[in-house]
Amino acid sequence: MTQKEMDLASQRLQGRVGFVSGGLRGIGLGCVKRFLAEGAEVVLSDLDAADSETVGEVMSQLGSGASYVQANVTKEEDWLRARDAVQQRHGALHILVNNAGVDLTGPVEAMTMESWRRIMDVNVDGVFLGVKTFVPLMAESGKAVKGGASIINVSSIMGMVGFNDISAYNASKGAVRMFTKGIAIEFAQKKMGIRANSLHPGFVLTPLLHAGFQRWVDSGFAQKKEQLIDAMSAATPMGRLADPAELASGAFFLASADSAYMTGAELVMDGGWTAQ
């Protein structure tokens, strides 16, 4: 966020604590910055070692409201360590963004069982473990804030429509979408004070998208990444790809009391892609 945008921020997350997985880059980092600008305290996690250069660089931009914990979303013991860190530092959790994810491309007949399992492990098991680990603390914390606690599971438009050569990713993001609806009903009917919604980005300019485009270039599908960015922009009704900060706005809305009557819903932010 620019200083001007920070000044315009509403502080509507004052007094709330958020946790963002995969928070060092892309959409996750966008969410961390927006939540901080809105007055929240944020714990972010990622794969990088806490004493790595990247973590040092990112944390130096974020200020004292942010803290980092190294955690692989596929490992339950890492989630438990992350929960202990949140509990110790803040004693509460109001917002959970299950953002960490990977994309793998390839035709189904060429896909190995190993790559199928890896994408399910990160994109689906990682979300399940995050929810399971933090639900007790969020149920307790949610009672104290307007609109309750909020879980935001990052799916994709690829969890709603199919796309060539990414069937495993389609399947994983579809699972996130339906898991979110299941827990939303469970928590609402048990009056647990936790809402859960899925966020469905279209094409967002992040390291993940750049790496995916590079794989297409390497496999001879295109000559340059720029060609792919132009082609994806042209195929998007709004004629451009998204900035991570635009997705963070959606996450902020779902985190705040402005979305108090929203649970089990899908927030699609795709420049019109799925409206076609």
Contact map string, positions 210 to 249, toward ligand NAD, x by CB under 6 A: ----------------------------------------
Pick from 90, 157, 163, 159: nearest CA to 124: 159
Written as six digits, the tokens of 147 are 């609109």
**Contact call for residue 151 and ligand NAD (CB under 6 A):** no
| Choice among 68, 169, 213, 252 that is catalytic | 169
Report the residue count for the chain: 276
**Contact call for residue 26 and ligand NAD (CB under 6 A):** yes
Q: Where are the alpha helices (DSSP H) in the chain?
A: 3-8, 26-37, 53-62, 76-89, 113-120, 126-142, 167-189, 207-218, 225-235, 244-255
Residue 57 identity: E
Q: Which stretch binds ligand NAD (CB under 6 A): 26-34, 136-144, 225-233, 258-266?
A: 26-34
Q: Which of 154, 232, 245, 267 binds ligand NAD (CB under 6 A)?
A: 154
Clarify whether 169 is annotated catalytic: yes
Beta partners for 42? Answer: 18, 66
Contact map string, positions 35 to 54, toward ligand NAD, x by CB under 6 A: -----------xx-------
Q: Which is nearer to ligand NAD, 121 or 140 (CB)?
A: 121
**Contact call for residue 28 and ligand NAD (CB under 6 A):** yes
Asked if residues 94 and 147 have their Cβ atoms less than 8 Å apart, the reply is: no
> How wide is the angle at C-alpha 198 spanned by C-alphas 195 and 204, nearest 5°?
140
**Contact call for residue 25 and ligand NAD (CB under 6 A):** yes
Q: Which of 15, 91, 182, 207 binds ligand NAD (CB under 6 A)?
A: 207
d(CA 203, CA 78): 30
Residue ranges binding ligand NAD (CB under 6 A): 21-22, 24-28, 46-47, 72-74, 99-103, 122, 126, 154, 156, 201, 203-204, 206-209
